[in-house]
Chains A and B, each alone.
Chain A
Amino acid sequence: MIPNREEYESMMAARHTPAVHNKLKEGKVAVAGLGGLGSNISVMLAQAGVGKLLLVDFDVVELSNLNRQHYDLTHLGMLKTDALKKQIEKINPFIETETGTLKVTEENVMTVFNDYPIVCEAFDNPQYKAMLVNALLAQGGQTIVAASGMAGFDSANNIKTRQRFKNLYVCGDFKTPVQEGSGLMAPRVAVCAAHQANMVLRLLLNIEKA
């Protein structure tokens, strides 16, 4: 039995308190990259009831994604934007989910993310991470929650959230890249994604401290 909007809303207000629920409901958050970080961040933000999400990725779901990304066998070959939007609609159909199936470049950063005051950087490639962060910071006015260092199976306790610039938070262990013997695995990727999602909730609740 699928609940109606009113039932869902009252459950969320009861769980999160009305004040928190209403603030999160007004939130607009973009997620750039829908891999291990971005797919998990998006699901958590949907579960938290963040009112509007923008999901951005150009890629399709592949078998090699299933060890850590929030997709299953039925999603293979689908666009990640579509696969994630479908899942989110099944978790919380009462939030708005916009998709951007495109490759983010220095040229289109402004138009793609313009309407979103908070952007999660969830790319895999370090050059793209830096490109996105630099382009958004150059424009100004947005807060970025980025990630760096979550590969392998070193202690999960080493993954932190730090405010590095006024408008830039970085989550991760800040040092462990993907390399031979230290691939990306579900737990630490999810821990890092949860750090990012939690920082987003804090920002939406007007808490700037990391």
Chain B
Amino acid sequence: MIVNGKEIVLQKESSIMEFLEKEGYDPTKVAVEKNGIIVPKIKFETEMLSDIDKMEIVCFVGGG
């Protein structure tokens, strides 16, 4: 699957939430697009990822 333009291999089937946590993202500080469609936070637990998916993760850091 492609995450932020980079190809990666999914080790096992996982939800967006599991993927974010495994990769060290704080799910409360991100916006996620899967195959060009925004994924609302309430779907992070149920939306599953597969190797054909393309995901963009925008992570926000503090300051403004």
Residue numbers of A with Cβ under 8 A of B are 33, 35-38, 122-127, 129-130, 133-134, 137-138, 146-151, 164-166, 168, 170, 172, 174-178, 184, 189
Could you tell me if B61 and A37 are in contact, using CB atoms closer than 8 angstroms?
no
Q: Which of A138, A146, A166 contacts B60 (CB 8 A)?
A: A146
B56 proximity list for chain A (CB < 8 A): 164-165
Q: How many residues of B contact A (CB 8 A)?
A: 18
Could you tell me if B62 and A133 are in contact, using CB atoms closer than 8 angstroms?
no
**Segment with Cβ contacts to A, from B8-16, B30-38, B45-53:** B30-38
For chains A and B in complex, what number of residue pairs have CB atoms within 8 angstroms?
80
B41 proximity list for chain A (CB < 8 A): 134
Could you tell me if B64 and A36 are in contact, using CB atoms closer than 8 angstroms?
yes
Instruction: Give complex CA distance A151, B58 in Å.
Output: 18
Is the C-beta of B59 less than 8 angstroms from some C-beta in chain A? yes
Residue numbers of B with Cβ under 8 A of A are 26, 28-31, 33, 36, 38, 40-41, 56, 58-64
Shortest C-beta distance, A63 to chain B (Å), equals: 18
Instruction: Give complex CA distance A150, B38 in Å.
Output: 25
Shortest C-beta distance, B45 to chain A (Å), equals: 15
Instruction: Give complex CA distance A37, B64 in Å.
Output: 5
17 further A-B contacts with Cβ under 8 Å, apart from A124-B62, A129-B64, are A35-B64, A122-B64, A123-B64, A124-B64, A125-B62, A126-B26, A126-B62, A127-B29, A130-B28, A133-B58, A137-B31, A149-B61, A165-B56, A177-B62, A177-B63, A189-B63, A189-B64
Shortest C-beta distance, B19 to chain A (Å), equals: 17
Instruction: Give complex CA distance A149, B30 in Å.
Output: 14
A123 proximity list for chain B (CB < 8 A): 64
B63 proximity list for chain A (CB < 8 A): 124, 147, 149-151, 176-178, 184, 189
